[in-house]
Amino acid sequence: MSSDFNTFANEDYCYLTTIGRVTGKAHEIEIWFGLNGNSLYLLSGGGHASDWVKNLQAQPAVRVRLGKQTYDATARVVEDGEEQQLARLLLAAKYYHWETGKPLNEWAATALPVALDVKR
């Protein structure tokens, strides 16, 4: 991975490709993300019921495209409370101009946090 990975932080979207748990075919979605180190954080408004979440739980090896670069990553539902909060704050700040001390909007407060740990 290039040392300038953080240059992608201001991209509006990333493109996540999962493998369909039923079809075995690649499925790509456009989705908002927050970046922290080598991890991208996503929020699933549909929680565990979202197809892309079901797909990555069945097959955690995913691909993520940022700009014109594509990376292999391992996806996981974020279980740790502090990491969940980090994901929520990253996306709320990026897309809803959240500021310290203000409450999160409903989506940021309740959506399921997912991490994509990008492989070097």
Arithmetic mean of pLDDT, 89-94 = 92
* pTM for this predicted structure: 0.92
> What residues contact 108, with CB distance under 8 A and at least 6 apart?
43, 88, 89, 91, 92, 96, 98
Residue 33 contacts residue 87 (beta carbons within 8 Å): no
CA-closest candidate to residue 75, choices 95, 91, 54, 92: 54
The string of pLDDT tens digits covering residues 20-63 is 999 999 999 999 999 999 999 999 999 999 999 999 999 999 99
Domain interval for residue 97: 5-118
pLDDT-based confidence at 98, cuts 50/70/90? confident
The number of domains in the chain is 1
Q: How many beta carbons lie within 10 A of that of residue 15, not counting itself?
A: 16
Which CATH number fits the domain that encloses residue 68? 2.30.110.10
E strand residue ranges, the chain:
14-19, 26-31, 34-36, 39-44, 61-66, 69-77, 112-118
- Whether the pLDDT of residue 120 is over 80: the answer is no
- Whether the pLDDT of residue 2 is over 60: the answer is no
Edge-to-edge strands of the sheet including 112-118?
26-31, 14-19, 61-66, 69-77, 112-118, 39-44, 34-36
